[in-house]
Amino acid sequence: MKNQSYVELTNILKQKIDRLLSEKIVDYMIVYEKGSLWFKTRPKMIRKQTDMEKVIWNRYCQFNLSTFLKSLSGKDENIGIIAKKCDLGSIVELIKNNQIKKENLYILQVACDGVINWQKLENLLGTKVAKAIEVEEDSPNLVIKMPERNIEVLKNDCLPDKCLICDFQPSPYANDFLTIVDEKIEDIKEIKSQPLPNLEPLDNMSYEERLGYWLKHFSRCMRCYACRNVCPVCYCSTCMFDGQEGLWISKESKTSDNYVYHLTRAFHVATLCVECGECQRVCPVNIPLMKLNSKLAKEISDTFGYQAGLLIDDLSPFKTYCQEDPDEFK
């Protein structure tokens, strides 16, 4: 989408939110506002129409606002939330798992054709994004306006993995879908045909190489738990690793305990994880956590034909069974 399209969409969005608040359809809205730098955004909860000016919508609204819904269960307020197509999946999971009632939620889906992962962009540019002045789209490229010159990069190379497999269509669970007429419909198909982020490099390793690979990563884990805290489907009131401290893993950050933590985390979000990529995005030491999540999602899909975040009425395959389930045991 062109920058102008984002501006127009932001205006429609503001009008919409204004109406939702003034007509008391929602008590407050969870929205994006401008972050510390021009290419950063941050979440904002607005209750007053006077805060409306802060609402923005642009290609840097990468993170998943639904993570702010998970601590709200039990409160009887009506909440409005801005959601991209990818965020709808985790909202569906939160509804499925009784963390929020659908009737208390107003989901405002906004047209999106991919958000920018500025770390990826930075790697492409070889310099800090902060040095740039502006980014404009010139399909299929992005034009990065630097003080001295413009740099063009392929937009797809700057998208997070989740955008490469997204159809960007309206979700049946959205209360409203905000869009503008844009010439981008054709490109959407093109984006969809991108290959899936694959797990092959690991598949070809021996067990020892693979364990070594993971232990190298896990040895860097400081157990800051950012991956857990940001995860929209890590909704437990008290995480098992906090509840009875030192019970499951020791307090010191041992690699073997980190292994237990990370595999348990992945297993716990399996059947709920919608692969929004937030855990990996926020990891301060860049552990490729999405590899674990994607692997489990794939296994669960292959074995039980189940995909998280699709339908509110779907039951997690771990909460049901078939007598004829595959049985590889003796």
Burial 63-84 (b: 16+ CB within 10 A, else e): bbbbbebbebeeeeebbbbbbb
Minimum Å gap between C-beta 177 and another protein is 28
Q: Which listed residue (185, 211, 311, 312) binds another protein by CB under 8 A?
A: 211
Measure the CA–CA gap between 64 and 231, rounded to whole angstroms: 9
Q: Which listed residue (158, 292, 308, 309) binds another protein by CB under 8 A?
A: 292
* Structure tokens belonging to residue 274: 């919608």
Examine residue 215 and tell whether it contacts another protein (CB under 8 A).
yes
Examine residue 295 and tell whether it contacts another protein (CB under 8 A).
yes
Alpha helices in the chain (DSSP H): 3-22, 85-96, 118-125, 161-164, 185-192, 200-203, 207-219, 226-230, 240-243, 255-269, 278-282, 289-304
Where is 138: in which H helix or E strand? Answer: strand 134-138
Residues 235-264 that bind another protein (CB under 8 A): 235-240, 243-244, 247-249, 252-257, 259-260, 263-264
> What would the x/- binding string for another protein be over residues 157 to 176, using CB under 8 A?
--------------------
Say if residues 127 and 155 touch (Cβ distance below 8 Å): no
Minimum Å gap between C-beta 280 and another protein is 16
Examine residue 198 and tell whether it contacts another protein (CB under 8 A).
no
- Of 44-52, 132-140, 164-172, 198-206, the window that binds another protein (rule: CB under 8 A) is 198-206
Residues 81-120 that bind another protein (CB under 8 A): 97-99
Measure the CA–CA gap between 189 and 21, rounded to whole angstroms: 36
Examine residue 204 and tell whether it contacts another protein (CB under 8 A).
no
Instruction: Name the residue among 110, 134, 124 with its Cα closest to residue 156.
Output: 124
> What would the x/- binding string for another protein be over residues 261 to 280, using CB under 8 A?
--xx-xxx-x----------
Minimum Å gap between C-beta 102 and another protein is 15
Q: Using CA of residue 160, residue 161, residue 166, residue 171, what is the dihedral sign?
A: negative
Examine residue 12 and tell whether it contacts another protein (CB under 8 A).
no
